[in-house]
Amino acid sequence: MHRFIWIFLSIGFFSCQEEVFLDLRTTEPIPVIEAVWTNNSQMNFVQLSRSRDFFDAEPNDFIKDAQVYIRNKRTNARLNFRFSEQLGLYLPVNNFVGSINESYELNVRIGENEYQADGTILPPPTLDSIRVEFRDQRFFRSEGYYLTLFGDIPFTEDNNYRIRIIRNDTLLNSRTDYLLFDDTFGTNILNQGFELNVPFRANDRVRLELFRLNQDAFDYMNQLVSLLFNDGGLFSPPPQNPVSNIRQIRGSGMFAGYFKASPVLVETVLITPIEQVGDE
């Protein structure tokens, strides 16, 4: 498939147009691994698929015949996963879950290739309350209901967090919806109140999921956000895939993906209509 751009040259009072064809090379599909391991049985999965060309409209090509398990690094217990045709995911057998302060090793075997990754489910911070406020439209802000989270982060290290937002059963996953924060500006962000810069409407049902990430998973997410904001312009760095925190221990060839081991705090808020007095 080819794409083309137009280049306009203006010389004096004359101009010409030259059609330039770019040969977009296709590459062989590579394995893509996405693995999430938490203390919540509803969130644990491993998804294995193959990459696609940018303009490919075909559905995901799932890898269904892999061997997948997670090993507790302290007890050496092995937690097996089984592929679900209905969901297109590998799910833990018997709804096994992770435990706080335990370290785990992800193991994936696809044909002759084997992959591993490590992660620790760290203790979570505290969420005490969620405040809902209606705010008028401003130049920098849309009208709507805004949520502010209150709680406490008592940790002096490993403060890397992500908040996922599900609105009415739909995950908000545009590039501005990846809410990542660390302790760059201190650990009292929840004590002072952390307002989510996402407007909601009356009667929205909002599910918030707060994760405490290992540093390598947090770095992966930051690189992913940077890639999503890369416009390919003159002053943008060359786009590149985020650096995976998964390592290949046997076999050859390229791959992509990440492993997230994390505790998760879940809160659900129903936006109740209130008198819209706005704010100053």
Which residues does 18 contact at the CB level (< 8 Å), separation at least 6?
6, 7, 9
Specify the pLDDT at position 141: 83
| Separation of alpha carbons 41 and 92, rounded Å | 9
| Separation of alpha carbons 116 and 103, rounded Å | 13
Specify the pLDDT at position 65: 96
Q: What is the pLDDT of residues 87-139, one digit of tens each?
A: 999 999 998 999 999 999 999 999 999 999 999 999 999 999 999 999 998 88
| Separation of alpha carbons 66 and 265, rounded Å | 31
Contact 140, 123 (CB under 8 A): no
Contact 81, 93 (CB under 8 A): yes
Contact 208, 198 (CB under 8 A): no
Per-residue pLDDT of the chain (280 residues; tens, 9 = 90+): 444 333 333 434 444 555 555 555 567 899 999 999 999 999 999 999 998 776 666 778 999 999 999 999 999 999 999 999 999 999 999 989 999 999 999 999 999 999 999 999 999 999 999 999 999 988 888 999 999 999 999 999 999 999 999 999 999 988 878 899 999 878 999 999 999 999 999 999 999 999 999 999 999 999 988 877 666 555 556 667 789 999 999 999 999 999 999 999 999 999 998 755 445 4
| Separation of alpha carbons 146 and 72, rounded Å | 40
Q: Is the pTM of this model over 0.75?
A: yes
At 198, give phi and psi (nearest 5°): -135, 120
Amino acid identity, residue 149?
L
| Residue 175 three-state SS | helix
Closest among 182, 195, 198 to 150, alpha carbons compared: 195
Specify the pLDDT at position 238: 65
